[in-house]
Structure 1
Amino acid sequence: MSLLGTRWKLHGDGRSVRPGKVVAPNERLAWPITIGVGLQHVVAMFGATFLVPILTHMPPATTLFFSGIGTLLFLVVTQGRVPSYLGSSFAFIAPILASQQQFGVGGALGGVVAAGVALALVGAVVQKFGAHWINIVMPPVVTGSIVALIGLNLAPAAKQNFVAAPVTALVTLVAIILVSVLFRGILGRLSILIGVVIGYVVAVARGEVDFSKVNAAAWIGLPHFQTPEFHLGVLGLFVPVVLVLVAENVGHVKSVSAMTGQNLDGVAGRALMADGAATVLAGLGGGSGTTTYAENIGVMAATKVYSTAAYWVAGLCALVLSFSPKFGELIATVPQGVLGGAATMLYGMIGVLGVKIWVQGRVNFSNQINITTAAVALIVGIADYTWNVGQLSFAGIALGSAAALLVYHGMTALARWRGTVREPETERV
């Protein structure tokens, strides 16, 4: 494989995946099939990638542009060893919304840049010293708590959009639920996207959609770029996001490693640095922060195709779509009711993802340290506790994340000193 990871070997006859085999990252099928798989990845990332800028009032086309750029950059930095699409990260929704209220869009973009720089630095440390220390600093009880409180902290925002158009919101939510349980394969995995489309049709029928900007927009043109502003006050909002991005990226690398049978621990640091660099670029130009997408893991699991060639296709396709202002304005017309229905599911899923991390990590909540860590962090995050120190403002997500880390490590140190630890941290298998 070349330094760019663009020299792929043909898998078998190039037309099918051999029984019991997978198409490895450094392999590809025939180009027509590879292009088809790449387009599936575009569809898989589409709903979630666009939902973030719509919820945060950012230009969808700009986010799509930096999503495509970020994906291609990720493939280059990881030398084609990790198949991944970089889409909009849900972890950025809450800090972007909070920082916009005080510092505007420019201030929010500054926070995105800061988070990207921090993530890249973590990646450099991981690449130098290995990823084992991440599990020491952020064991499952801490990581799960942080992920859960980020999703549940957004519950009031979901309700605000829902009550703006409750009929449309309810239709959207019910459609998402039904699609997820009635269909298998790719359709089931695209339940949020399909639910949003159904809700959008209902909104149009109810006269809740304004197409004036769509009609006025050109078919071809540059995305809307905007430069960031840097304020010290946003750091407390965006620092916790880095912890989530680290967990997501490392989890993605481990998942791909397990599915392909290749040991990718040596490239985990590169993956973090690549996502950090992509997030910095997005923040510098007006896009949302990025992360590796679990949605696209589903496509790979279904097709058995882990070729990075398909992700080059997906990234290039995203770039092409981003150069249509009319397309971007059409996405931006999604009304509040549809967003409320989708957000009710989406934000709840983020919260439950934290619980999933606890389950997979076999966290033992009979252990007083574990239950105290989760209890304090969740209440601080969900209730949105706030602490102002000069120009710095620490809201629920930042304080909840800090509480998870401080309570866990503080109690662990004291318990070891006093010899009072009685229950194991993890459940026995």
Structure 2
Amino acid sequence: MSRLGTAWTVHGDGKNVLPGQFVAPDERLSWPRTIGIGAQHVVAMFGATFLVPLITGFPPATTLLFSGIGTILFLIITAGKVPSYLGSSFAFIAPIAAAQSQHGPAGALGGIIMAGAVLAIIGAIVHRAGSRWIQVVMPPIVTGAIVALIGLNLAPTAKASFEQAPLTALITVVVILLVTVLFKGILGRLSILVGVLAGYVVAMLRGEVDFTAIGDAAWIGLPPFQTPEFHLSVVGLFIPVVLVLVAENIGHVKSVAAMTGRDLDPVTGRALMADGLATMLAGSGGGSGTTTYAENIGVMAASRVYSTAAYWVAGIVAILLSLFPKFGALIATVPAGVIGGAGVVLYGMIGILGVRIWVQNQVNFSNPINLSTAGVALVVGIANFTWTIGELTFEGIALGTAATLAIYHVMNGLARWRGSEHLTGPNDVDASDKGSRPSKLG
């Protein structure tokens, strides 16, 4: 059982967490309290995890099933050392939409599997060679630019959904913003979920919700599954997402390590492999790609309970919920106006999270190399430049990511060759010593 990370010891009296103490990953409180905290994790991940399938048209219950299975798989592979919930990754929204327009849902699922496979391979390399090389290849200026362009590339999608029901969408946006500023604790962190619920009520009152599918759905049963198809043309859409997933997972491991005072670097590779395998598993059956969730870090920080037992509970609860088709059908009734309102806030937040990476790591934009790297990448991503070579199609996210990596490293190489390294500063060339602190897209 210890190899699975399930040999938990009871913390203290199993009831209280004294000031200055916390429940470690290999500890737990009493089972009733552990189940309660696990339920909090389900609520914390719920809004964001369901929003991805609602936006992309994937079955919400299927995504929830693979989210729960992926979480348990992650806990097993990391031997219970890294508490985390694997929810739907927003980084997949744009490539899924683009792939669906070319090859339908099956083609998008094939792309998700490809991305998961590459992430798992990177995890295996990190497990053997360490993660320093990733920090050298992807310093904060690069990571921030990629995260920002992924969010801002989705702006037209948010606009299209918003315009289908402007009033409902506007109310959704307003509620999200008000909940964010008016409430503290877990309710404030669930602003998107609360906003979606408020928008849903408004949509019902305005007759924008169709409940037909709920009546047709069974009470108990498996969610719908979809067989993937593999097309070479979607490779350029999904591979850039891997870079974001790598940054997210490393950031999650470092955050948990900082909060628990434990050295988790040896399991970073395992975390990447686990997320890669969970993403492949999700893509094989019709679910969205996964990532570690920042929302659940907030629950841990608030409760001071880092027990992986609570995440086992969350994973099991997610699986059980996915086996109620009426529940999945209810989620699928969320109308376009609500999704558009949530998307306006969400996609903008993703874009600004990239900027936050720059701010947190003190990226120097008086350096023309950094300025060029970010500027070109954002224009390519936001304008959604497209380049087709035979069967391969590279759109804004892929081209923007490639531009970010190429411009940064080529310009720095040329600066060294020409002896003009005075252009750079301590935060401009190699952030490997300092370490990038990527924000989450989950």
Corresponding residue of 1:414: 414
SS in 1 for 2:142: helix
Corresponding residue of 1:287: 287
Pair 1:367-2:382 in alignment: no
Q: Give 1:84-99 correspondences, 5 Å limit.
A: 84-99=84-99
CA deviations on 1:81-108 (whole Å, 9 max, x unpaired) are 0000000000000000000000100000
Corresponding residue of 1:403: 403
Pair 1:49-2:62 in alignment: no
Pair 1:343-2:352 in alignment: no
Read off the aligned partner of 2:357 and give its amino acid letter.
I
Read off the aligned partner of 2:420 and give its amino acid letter.
T
CA deviations on 1:291-325 (whole Å, 9 max, x unpaired) are 00000000000000000000000000000000011
CA distance in 1, matches of 2:426, 2:194: 41
Corresponding residue of 1:316: 316
TM (norm. structure 2) is 0.96
Corresponding residue of 1:424: 425
Read off the aligned partner of 1:244 and give its amino acid letter.
V
CA distance in 1, matches of 2:243, 2:188: 29
SS in 2 for 1:393: strand
CA distance in 2, matches of 1:275, 1:364: 32
Read off the aligned partner of 2:291 and give its amino acid letter.
T
CA distance in 2, matches of 1:2, 1:364: 46
What is the CA-CA distance between 1:425 and the residue it aligns to? 4.8
CA deviations on 1:19-64 (whole Å, 9 max, x unpaired) are 2011000000000000000000000000000000000000000000
CA deviations on 1:213-261 (whole Å, 9 max, x unpaired) are 1111111011101110000000000000000000000000000000001
CA distance in 2, matches of 1:19, 1:199: 39
Corresponding residue of 2:438: none
- Contact between 1:144 and 1:353, CA under 8 Å: does it hold in 2? yes
Pair 1:109-2:106 in alignment: no
Q: Give 1:84-233 correspondences, 5 Å limit.
A: 84-233=84-233
What is the CA-CA distance between 1:174 and the residue it aligns to? 0.0
Corresponding residue of 1:383: 383
SS in 2 for 1:223: coil
Identity %, equivalent residues: 70
- Contact between 1:367 and 1:425, CA under 8 Å: does it hold in 2? no
Structure 2: where are the runs of 5+ without partners?
A: 435-442
- Contact between 1:100 and 1:107, CA under 8 Å: does it hold in 2? yes
CA distance in 2, matches of 1:152, 1:419: 36
SS in 1 for 2:4: coil
CA distance in 1, matches of 2:419, 2:148: 30
What is the CA-CA distance between 1:421 and the residue it aligns to? 2.2
CA distance in 2, matches of 1:174, 1:260: 36
SS in 2 for 1:272: helix
CA distance in 1, matches of 2:253, 2:187: 25
- Contact between 1:363 and 1:425, CA under 8 Å: does it hold in 2? no
Pair 1:65-2:35 in alignment: no
Q: How many residues align?
A: 429
CA distance in 2, matches of 1:16, 1:122: 40
Corresponding residue of 2:18: 18
CA distance in 2, matches of 1:252, 1:209: 37
TM (norm. structure 1) is 0.99
What is the CA-CA distance between 1:420 and the residue it aligns to? 0.9
CA distance in 2, matches of 1:204, 1:34: 36
Q: Give 1:236-315 correspondences, 5 Å limit.
A: 236-315=236-315
SS in 1 for 2:81: coil
Read off the aligned partner of 1:426 and give its amino acid letter.
N
Corresponding residue of 1:394: 394
- Contact between 1:377 and 1:400, CA under 8 Å: does it hold in 2? yes
What is the CA-CA distance between 1:283 and the residue it aligns to? 0.4
CA distance in 2, matches of 1:250, 1:361: 15
What is the CA-CA distance between 1:361 and the residue it aligns to? 1.3
CA deviations on 1:161-209 (whole Å, 9 max, x unpaired) are 0010000000000000000000000000000000000000000000000
SS in 2 for 1:214: helix
CA distance in 1, matches of 2:214, 2:349: 31
Corresponding residue of 1:326: 326
Structure 1: where are the runs of 5+ without partners?
A: none
CA deviations on 1:134-162 (whole Å, 9 max, x unpaired) are 11000000000000000000000000000
CA distance in 1, matches of 2:123, 2:363: 26
SS in 1 for 2:257: helix
SS in 2 for 1:118: helix
Corresponding residue of 1:31: 31
What is the CA-CA distance between 1:3 and the residue it aligns to? 0.3
CA distance in 1, matches of 2:305, 2:31: 13
What is the CA-CA distance between 1:360 and the residue it aligns to? 1.2
Read off the aligned partner of 1:302 and give its amino acid letter.
A
- Contact between 1:152 and 1:351, CA under 8 Å: does it hold in 2? yes
What is the CA-CA distance between 1:273 and the residue it aligns to? 0.1
Corresponding residue of 1:3: 3
- Contact between 1:8 and 1:28, CA under 8 Å: does it hold in 2? yes
Which is worse superposed, 416-425 or 356-365? 416-425
Read off the aligned partner of 2:427 and give its amino acid letter.
T
- Contact between 1:49 and 1:88, CA under 8 Å: does it hold in 2? yes
- Contact between 1:232 and 1:392, CA under 8 Å: does it hold in 2? yes
CA distance in 1, matches of 2:103, 2:216: 30
CA distance in 2, matches of 1:231, 1:216: 34
SS in 2 for 1:47: helix
